[in-house]
Chain A
Amino acid sequence: MRFLGHFSSRERRYRRLVQPHVTHLVHIALQRTGHAALAEDLVQESCIMAWEKLEGLRSAEASRPWLVRILLRQIADHRRTRARRQALLPITDIEEAHWEAIAGEAPGPFEQAVAAQSDGRVAALLRRLPDDFAIVVELHDLMGYRYREIAETLELPLGTVTSRLARGRRLLAGLLVEAPETVEGIGASGDKEARHHE
């Protein structure tokens, strides 16, 4: 620290490799959890873990994917131990409905319906997707990752990223326009999770 006249090498490393990405981690945690206090906790835990494991980080380029992986593990652990289980989505039904719509529907109404959704509703529906799909969609469409960056961050083959992104968007599309009645339930369960966390 400065009162010793210098920063320790670990602190310098931390400032260079981790600190620039904390805001990004907050963004992911906020979207994944929907709760500020919980997001803060999870980012904080991730930063502590990063501090402890800093030796394992090989390069500056690897630091963001490495941190995101740590955060996603924290989020998954929290889900497993603390949070309510995610309700299962009827994925096959939603996809079938999607393909039928693609084959028959005139363009226009869908786009308008999607554009008209509120931020809160879109974010909440995104959290209803299975994690494997949601995280790929979030990293790409919310955070501007390229396919290759997602593959690297999640340690997945490029083909898997490609198909999960497309399928995730299709599922979200299905929820956005075809399941309006589920939205009330989402708000309520979100609140429950917040209280559970307190």
Chain B
Amino acid sequence: MTSRLSAIALNTFREAVRDRVLYNLIIFVFLLVASAPLFSQISIDVERLILVNVGLSAISLFGVIIAIFIGIGLVSKEIEKRTLYTILSRPVRRWEFIAGKYCGLMMTLLVNAALMTVGFMIAVMITSHGLKAQDMHLLVAVYFTVLEFMVVTALTLLFSSFSSPIFSAILSFSLFAIGTFSLDLRNFAASAHGITKMFALAAAYLVPNLASLNVIAQVAHDQPVGGALVLYNTLYTVLYSAAVTAGAVLIFERRNLK
């Protein structure tokens, strides 16, 4: 089982690496991060604030874009090009295929985020003339971003297991956008009444809680991130993405492939 799953994951990773789009994005982010210090000549503090905001947001946004654009094709491309025939005629369970694809894309995103983080940390070091203890929190923010990738990848895979690539992309981006404002939804649910409250509550808990995964503004102002939040986010992400991926598997298991 593990050898088949890892073979599928590695092949997914290899495809992404051999796809030049990925390199373009990485280069773009490097340019962005490198040019951030030019924004401000006012003071080191403002400069750093901008750099952290821009850098971390870019790592998150580019990762999410890659997750969605590769994610929507992970299953549909293999169906469309019929490469799946040569996979499913082997002793590969359908859930292994989905899980392998998930891991492969996560691997891609991790490597991508790691490269960007290295570039980002170097930029931070240059602007602040060295690293401080608080800069550890920047890495916590990056960790949360990776958790965000896990959620978005799972959702994209779920959508792509039953709908067309374009529709999957629309659904994924919408849910990403709504998820970013999930706190507002929860607040609304708390203040609503009756049937509206029920619907708002249901929506608030179904929609991914991406808001609590975003601590960029906080760390940009050198505010620490609590251990409780790290634990909560980790557990939440593992459970949420496992449930969503299980849904994708359930749909895919029953599917007749063209």
Q: Do A and B bind each other?
A: no
- Chain B positions near chain A (C-beta within 8 angstroms): none
